[in-house]
Structure 1
Amino acid sequence: MTGVQALEHKYPDKLPLPGQCAKMEFEYIRHGTTSLIGFFDVATGRMEMPYLNSTRTEEDFVEAVKALAGTDPQAPWTFICDGLNTHKSEALVRYVAEACALGVELGKKGKTGILKSMESRADFLHDPSHRIRFVYTPKHSSWMNQIEIWFGIINRKLLKRKSCLSIEELEASILRFIEQYNLTAHPFKWTYAGIPLVI
């Protein structure tokens, strides 16, 4: 999940001249923000069911998860997320309990049971016996989540130099980019040599 600003460059870019680089205007007019909730399929390299909205609340995240899980309601789903509070919310616990037909007492948020704290909700959502489960990357380890690589790609290839006059134009550009990206998508060859750091 990431927020994206619709920025219009105040002046047009200057084209490169012989021996000089192109120059991009750094001043901009802000036309608002949109939130992109994306689901990156590590097996195919595709971005599935992108969800764009003006907010990024726990309800938005649950709606996006519902939409994706609804494409195959009996399949097992594993979502890899960071520790953001919306990824461990009361609404998400209630959805997983209902979708997996668990029939367990959830308790009361901030008081008792599964809903008592963010940690208890995360433990419930992480349970491998659930058909829909969430795996959380450790703190300061966003690099372990491959969607962060994908967010870097869209930033470099589309957003970095993009000038938008509206949020609608920005959202249409993002959806076109995802559609085009998915045509040639492939899994990332994500490796690390394992060379220890020398201190």
Structure 2
Amino acid sequence: MAGRPRGVVELTDDERACLTRWARRGKSSQALALRSKIVLLCAEGLVNTHVAQRLGVSRDMVGKWRGRFLARRLEGLVDEPRPGAPRRISDDRVDEVIVKTLERQPANQDSHWSTRSMARETGLSQTAVSRIWRAFGLEPHLVDTWKLSADPMFVEKVRDVVGLYLDPPVKAMMLCVDEKSQMQALERTRPMLPMMPTVAARQTHDYVRHGVASLFAAFDPAAGKVIGQLHRRHRHQEFLKFLKVIDANTPAEMDLHLVLDNYATHKTPAVHRWLAAHPRFHLHFTPTSASWLNLVERWFAELTHRKLRRSSHRSLADLETDVQTWIEAWNTDPRPFAWTRTADEILNSLATYCGRINDSGH
């Protein structure tokens, strides 16, 4: 059955060149890039249904931007102005700020743009640059860290660990195990000043160190409870002692599946001998440089944020007592952690990210 007649899209050479440039821009104005791709496919003679299937959008969206282009040509693809005072900064000037922010560095060899340096570069006011950056979510002063695992068994280990989270073995316990090493007993040189209206709590930046302790923890994501043991060192001897604590504090009839990282203390001959004598223990190692797969790291973040970051301890024993008391309080009202992403979703996300950084030109 024939559908409604569609307007035929014919492009001039200048229009095709402009649309192609907009469509290929990988860093900015993704909405405009999608609209440009719609019009380019329409110009190839494709009907709206086929264009929608090619781009993964709705047929109504294709019809909308086909009609807008036929009515107003290139200007029809640009967002219409919002109600209010007339704009004093054109789309070209905004585009210039975005492109320079994303694709160029300052001429003075600074590592990133500031609102002042961008204002000098473009001739706009500092306030205008700040507004443009906020509108497009650009924060040149911030940088996040990341690391890709080079583990040759990365895919297999991700599937193994995530499979445990999403489909735990029957009649068995799963525990996420790790050490939080180098917990410092820091004593602030002055007492903390309490919070007041409009004034945050304040503590001195200087402190006295009284030593470090290591917390060995086994977190049960299903129940939310933690088995913890504190030591002054974190060698394989201490890890063996902790395995014995886990053994003594879990039902003897249940198998134990432990999610661990690749720290050397987890793989010594003494540890292997002990595990061979206790066959109910099954170890599952996360990939190297992928500690985010171990849910105990998320629990360590709770410990740091809710206890350690704002505490002051006069001795190492004071720190150990404080941490042990906090763990006991946590276990009286435990909070289970639920893993939601499948292994395929994680691997597809990483594959997409690797494709982006490989195509970035750096």
Fold equivalence (TM over 0.5): yes
Check if 1:23 corresponds to 2:202. Answer: yes
CA deviations on 1:91-112 (whole Å, 9 max, x unpaired) are 1101011223xxxxxxxxxxxx
Give CA-to-partner distance per residue, 1:93-142, whole Å, 9 cap, x none.
01011223xxxxxxxxxxxxxxxxxxxxxxxxxxxxxx211111111111
Contact 2:210 2:315 in 1 (8 A): yes
Q: 1:69 aligns with which of 247, 263, 275?
A: 247
Q: Which is richer in helix?
A: 2
* C-alpha displacement of 1:45: 0.8
Count of residues in correspondence between the two structures: 168
The structure having more radius of gyration, on CA atoms, is 2
Aligned to 2:96: none
Q: Do the aligned partners of 2:219 and 2:226 also contact (CA within 8 Å) in 1?
A: yes
| Equivalences for residues 41-190 of structure 1 within 5 A | 41-48=220-227, 50-71=228-249, 72-100=251-279, 131-190=280-339
Cα deviations by residue, 1:13-68 (Å, 9 ceiling, x for unpaired): 233344332222121100011110011012101002x1111111101101110121
* Mapped partners of 1:165, 1:145: distance in 2: 32
Structure 1 distance, partners of 2:274, 2:195, is 53
Of the structure 1 ranges 68-77 and 87-96, higher mean CA displacement relative to structure 2 is found in 68-77
C-alpha change, 1:61 and 1:18, in structure 2 (3 Å) is: same
The structure whose RCO (Cα within 8 Å, separation 6+) is larger is 1
Cα distance in 2, alignment partners of residues 19 and 146 from structure 1: 36
Identical aligned pairs, as a percentage?
A: 29
CA contact (8 A) 2:221 2:338 kept: no
* TM-score (normalizing by structure 2): 0.44
Structure 2 gaps of 5+ residues are 1-178, 357-362
Secondary structure at 2:310 match in 1? coil
- Distance in 1 separating the partners of 2:241 and 2:197: 51
Deviation at 1:2, TM superposition (A): 1.2
C-alpha change, 1:186 and 1:14, in structure 2 (3 Å) is closer
Q: TM-score, normalised by structure 1?
A: 0.78
The structure with more strand, counted as a fraction of residues: 1
Residues 1:40 and 2:189 are matched in the alignment: no
